[in-house]
Structure 1
Amino acid sequence: MTGSITKAARRGRGLAVAVAAGLLLAGCATPQNPKDPFEPFNRTVFTFNDNVDRVALKPVATAYKDHVPGFMQTGVNNFFGNLNDLWSAANNFMQLKGQAGMNDLTRFGLNSTFGMLGLLDIASPAGLSKHNEDFGQTLGYWGMPSGPYLMLPILGPSTVRDTAALPADLWADPWSEANPTRLRNTGIGVRAVDQRATILDASNLLEEAALDRYEFIRDGYLQRRESKVYDDDRSKRRKPKSKYDADADDDDQDMAQQQPETPASAETPSK
């Protein structure tokens, strides 16, 4: 475990240096959006990520989706999702959501045994819903503001809060302990390709639409993260502690005034 902590710390430091250098260059630019004061830097990183995706990741993900049998893709997705249930349980407990935490632990136990190490998801049909909690959500639950939006190299959309939480998420990934190293690296690559394959249709539609993809992804990410922190329950939201969260509140209120109320989701929030 010490090796994992060291690796996570090195990744965190390297990422922090790269982001800090870019932010210094972007600091002199006039911000166009109060939630995105580093937009010039973020757009540059977005273009870099987009080029990497077009040249490397998307073609591989397309081949994976087209040629790998569906049951194998499902197995890969289930396997890594099962590993994530452990960290999700830990974050639910840190957020004092005991019922959701026990739900995630039970999911992991069932799928790891009767589900062939997680290749089969037998917990969901049994009524054990899946949660995807991470340390960034835990920090948000305890009142840490999201801070400005960031576009990270390779990793994609984030915020200052979620970036600060990355080392903990990397350290807690059970796959980081897999041996030998070749197996671990192969698994990391397969997981990345599988995750990219799951959003191919959505990304293709986005590319065809006549809109600013950067803004669409940014706004969608910020709204989604806010929703996940508060389990889709606006009444749980604390008073904003930073101007970025205050601006998000203003935008949400404007949208609520412009749009009719939507029916409550059938899914029961975690407790």
Structure 2
Amino acid sequence: MKRITLLSLLLILGLSGCAKTPNDESVSSGAETNAEYTEQATEYTVEGTYDPFEGFNRAMWTLNYDYLDPYVARPVSLAYVDYVPSPVRTGIRNFLSNLDEPANMVNSIIMLDGEQAVTHFNRFWINSVFGLAGLIDIATAADITKPGERAFGDSMGYYGVSNGPYFMVPMYGPVTLREGAGDYVDGLYFPLNLLTFWQSLGKWAFEGMEDRAALVSQENLLKDSPDPYIFTRDAYIQNKNFRALGGESLPEEPEDEEYLDEFLDEVDDY
């Protein structure tokens, strides 16, 4: 249940992956006004987008972006990063990340990536045995770096299952039907299946606070976009398409999506 927390996903939940650079000219020429941009976006310029509940989703976006994020998620996340000692945060982050390694391994196998599956397996047993159940990232110190995350939603996409309807969930953020179903399946793998509801919620919250704080430097990109809702949706779907390809380059990039590139490249650094 790897999630970016407490509505902080709103800024772009988890975006990390493919893309390159925003271009001011492409933004202005593609849509001179919010109305024009919104009308253009209904054509779903990003492949795999399906937003049949856009009216409801926009209302939830306003709730999350204008109220819950600035008054709850953002200040809580920054307080966590500013006041919790770095070694403590690193230990928590390592421990929680280690819990996902078996699911990453299984999904790498499903996606026919044996090398990445072996890497996830080695990282899990090394960090679990020698790294105090994952609190210390011994594997990275041994030059076994962590590859990208692999979720069951990505595995389904790899075999052609579409994203399905897009939802903006209050107090949660963007999600598609495929991703939601995939997260449920990933939660059945050891050791995630041993977590209680409250432990899973705690994992989600700690991971989310780190990720939300890391996105502070990217906020202006979202604020300056003609339509932040469409910007977020398109970047989110583009990232899901990228992950479903196993991290390979997209066949082609729609011209109207060039402005997403820099944002995704910079978020990928975190």
Same fold, TM exceeding 0.5? yes
Q: Is 1:44 aligned with 2:54? A: no
* Paired residues for 1:10-49 under 5 Å: 32-34=42-44, 35=49, 36-49=51-64
Tell me the residue number matched to 2:184.
167
CA distance 1:208–1:46, shift in 2 (3 Å)? closer
Which structure 1 residue ranges, 5 or more long, are not aligned? 1-29, 238-248, 260-264, 266-271
Identity of aligned residues (%): 31
2:81 maps to amino acid: K
The structure whose RCO (Cα within 8 Å, separation 6+) is larger is 2
1:145 to 158, 162, 170: 162
CA radius of gyration, larger in: 1
**TM norm structure 1:** 0.67
Measured in 2, the distance between the counterparts of 1:188 and 1:218 equals 21
**TM norm structure 2:** 0.67
CA drift of 1:123 comes to: 1.7
1:220 to 204, 217, 235: 235
CA distance 1:147–1:207, shift in 2 (3 Å)? closer
Measured in 2, the distance between the counterparts of 1:187 and 1:230 equals 27
CA drift of 1:176 comes to: 5.4
CA drift of 1:58 comes to: 1.6
Tell me the residue number matched to 2:80.
64
Tell me the residue number matched to 1:86.
102
Measured in 2, the distance between the counterparts of 1:44 and 1:57 equals 18
Tell me the residue number matched to 2:194.
177
1:223 maps to amino acid: Q
- Number of corresponding residues: 214
Measured in 2, the distance between the counterparts of 1:155 and 1:56 equals 12
Tell me the residue number matched to 1:132.
149
2:172 to 146, 151, 155: 155
CA contact (8 A) 1:176 1:184 kept: no
Q: Is 1:205 aligned with 2:220? A: yes
Alpha-carbon displacement from aligned partner over 1:42-85 (angstroms, at most 9, x marks no partner): 11121222222222222111111111122222222111111111
Secondary structure of the equivalent of 2:138?
A: coil
Deviation beyond 6 Å, 4+ runs, structure 1: none
CA distance 1:173–1:213, shift in 2 (3 Å)? farther
Measured in 1, the distance between the counterparts of 2:63 and 2:187 equals 23
Measured in 1, the distance between the counterparts of 2:225 and 2:75 equals 23
CA drift of 1:215 comes to: 1.8
CA contact (8 A) 2:225 2:231 kept: no
CA distance 1:100–1:126, shift in 2 (3 Å)? same
CA contact (8 A) 2:158 2:246 kept: no
CA contact (8 A) 2:151 2:186 kept: yes
